[in-house]
């Protein structure tokens, strides 16, 4: 039986879906995380603690595990594990991205520099050495930490006073870490989901974001596929996504790219060396109905991949926003939301009586709504109607 090591940050949403995909493939799972799993005492070499913030040490621990009990692949489930997976793959001879390429996806300034060197279309940008003296990248502009994810710390500013305030707030969120200032890019926003094999990108789906974030904070909500954008815009988004992966040096595995498109031109916002975040992958089925997680495991284990076309009609997901910070009392109206025609799932992922933080400080969503329908418009309408049934109580 093949054995795959899953790098599972303790805060990930995705453990259950990857484990279910492994089970459907008859693959044994080894869990690696920065904290010891509750059952680690009984799991033996099926659980290992690794420091995800120290890629060298983590890769060494994985190599030692492989010597004791061989594994066949290493898969990073979320951003914190992508550099570890690359280094472990290099040591053990598994399909992998070059570690330096994976590291570029985890540092927004390094990513921007690599894209600029390859002349990939993107916003104007500059590092931010001081929160009181912002470089000129035009107006409006966006300030962000270079190493955060999930829109955490990303703030739009429209004038000099707002720029200084945004930079100071972003610096607090980044806990003194480096910042980046970028030109704000208008236009429709899309997410490109793909799989790299030997450096060639196969696009699995393009998601529209009907509520393209405009700031001051960049909360994402609805993703719908297939895209309703003109063919020229879609072609540009796919071409720029491929160019970006080459500029960064990525060669193997899942890719999630975000772009702004307008008038047949696309500009790259970000590229991640992992699949779509949260539980959003549940909105996508491929070929004869396999999940995105199963596809990722098949690629990592060099198992047959027969059909990469998107299955079904239209589908979508809504990431439930946190309206304000406080303590979550409850999310009411869930049964009514599930009863909306076209809704196929609702998961609230933050338990009651837990603290919640809104953007820009927050880095999580309340949960996820899923819909399917005959066309993208029907899916979007179902998601909006279901969300309108929910009442979020926060004190």
pLDDT tens per residue across span 189-229: 999 999 999 999 999 999 999 998 899 999 999 999 999 99
Residues 81 and 142 occupy one common structural domain: no
pLDDT digits (tens, 9 = 90+) for 82-93: 999 999 999 999
Last residue of a domain, one of 73, 94, 115: 94
Residues 12 and 76 occupy one common structural domain: yes
**CATH number assigned to the domain comprising residue 171:** 3.30.1490.20
pLDDT on residue 37: 57
Average pLDDT estimate for 1-22: 92
Asked, for residue 138, whether it belongs to a domain, the answer is yes
Last residue of a domain, one of 116, 150, 183: 183
Asked, for residue 266, whether it belongs to a domain, the answer is no
Confidence category of residue 42, pLDDT binned at 50, 70, 90: very low
Asked, for residue 106, whether it belongs to a domain, the answer is no
Residues 368 and 326 occupy one common structural domain: yes
pLDDT on residue 36: 66
pLDDT on residue 45: 66
| pTM summary value | 0.94
Asked, for residue 288, whether it belongs to a domain, the answer is no
**CATH number assigned to the domain comprising residue 334:** 3.90.1170.50
**CATH number assigned to the domain comprising residue 50:** 3.40.50.20
Residues 60 and 136 occupy one common structural domain: no
Asked, for residue 64, whether it belongs to a domain, the answer is yes
pLDDT on residue 289: 85
pLDDT on residue 133: 78
267 or 13: whose pLDDT is higher?
Answer: 267
Asked, for residue 40, whether it belongs to a domain, the answer is yes
3-class secondary structure per residue, the chain: CCEEEEECCCCCCCHHHHHHHHHHHCCEEEEEECCCCCCHHHHHHHEEECCCCCHHHHHHHHHHHHHHCCCCEEEECCHHHHHHHHHHHHHHCCCCCCHHHHHHHCCHHHHHHHHHHCCCCCCCEEEECCCCCCCCCCCCEEEEECCCCCCCCCEEECCHHHHHHHHHHHHHHCCCCCEEEEECCCCEEEEEEEEEECCEEEEEEEEEECCCCCCCECCCCEEEECCCCCHHHHHHHHHHHHHHHHHHCCCCEEEEEEEEEECCEEEEEEEECCCCCCCHHHHCEECCCEEHHHHHHHHHCCCCCCCCCECCCEEEEEEECCCCCEEEEEEECHHHHHCCCCEEEEEECCCCCCEECCCCCCCCCCEEEEEEECCHHHHHHHHHHHHHCCEEEEC
Asked, for residue 131, whether it belongs to a domain, the answer is yes
Residues 72 and 147 occupy one common structural domain: no
Residues 11 and 88 occupy one common structural domain: yes
Asked, for residue 350, whether it belongs to a domain, the answer is yes
Range(s) of the domain holding residue 155? 124-183
306 or 45: whose pLDDT is higher?
Answer: 306
Residues 318 and 375 occupy one common structural domain: yes
Counting the structural domains of the chain, the total is 3
Least confident of 42-46, 171-175, 335-339: 42-46
Last residue of a domain, one of 142, 165, 183: 183
């Amino acid at each position: 039986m093949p054995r795959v090591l899953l790098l599972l940050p303790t805060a990930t949403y995705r453990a259950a879906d990857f484990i279910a995909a492994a089970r459907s493939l008859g693959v044994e799972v080894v869990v690696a995380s920065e904290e010891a799993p509750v059952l680690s005492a009984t799991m033996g070499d099926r659980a290992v603690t690794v420091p995800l913030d120290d890629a060298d040490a983590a890769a060494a621990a994985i190599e030692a595990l492989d010597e004791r009990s061989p594994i066949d692949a290493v898969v990073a489930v979320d951003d914190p594990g992508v550099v570890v997976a690359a280094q472990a793959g290099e040591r053990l001879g598994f399909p992998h991205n070059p570690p330096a390429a994976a590291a570029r996806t985890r540092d927004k300034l390094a990513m921007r520099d690599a894209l600029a060197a390859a002349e990939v279309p993107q916003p104007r940008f500059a590092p931010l050495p001081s929160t009181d003296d912002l470089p000129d990248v035009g107006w409006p502009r966006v300030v962000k930490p270079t190493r955060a994810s999930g829109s955490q710390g990303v703030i739009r500013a429209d004038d000099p006073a707002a720029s200084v305030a945004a930079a100071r707030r972003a610096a607090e969120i980044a806990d003194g870490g480096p910042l980046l200032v970028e030109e704000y890019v208008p236009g429709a926003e899309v997410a490109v989901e793909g799989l790299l094999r030997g450096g060639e990108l196969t696009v699995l789906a393009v998601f529209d974001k009907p509520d393209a974030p405009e700031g001051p904070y960049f909360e994402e909500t609805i993703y719908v596929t297939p895209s309703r954008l003109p063919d020229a815009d879609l072609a540009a988004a796919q071409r720029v996504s491929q160019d970006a992966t080459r500029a960064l040096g990525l060669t193997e595995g899942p890719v999630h790219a975000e772009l702004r498109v307008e008038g047949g031109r696309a500009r790259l916002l970000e590229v991640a060396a992992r699949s779509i975040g949260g539980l959003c992958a549940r909105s996508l089925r491929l070929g004869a109905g396999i999940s995105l997680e199963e596809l990722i495991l098949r690629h990592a284990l060099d198992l047959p991949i027969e059909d990469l076309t998107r299955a079904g009609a239209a589908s979508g997901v809504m990431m439930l926003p946190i309206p304000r910070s406080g303590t979550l009392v409850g999310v009411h109206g869930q049964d009514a939301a599930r009863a909306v025609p076209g809704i196929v799932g609702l998961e609230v992922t933050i338990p009651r009586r837990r603290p919640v933080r809104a953007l820009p400080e927050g880095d999580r969503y309340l949960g996820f709504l899923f819909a399917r329908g005959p066309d993208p418009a029907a899916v979007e309408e179902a998601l909006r109607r279901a969300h309108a049934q929910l009442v979020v109580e926060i004190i």
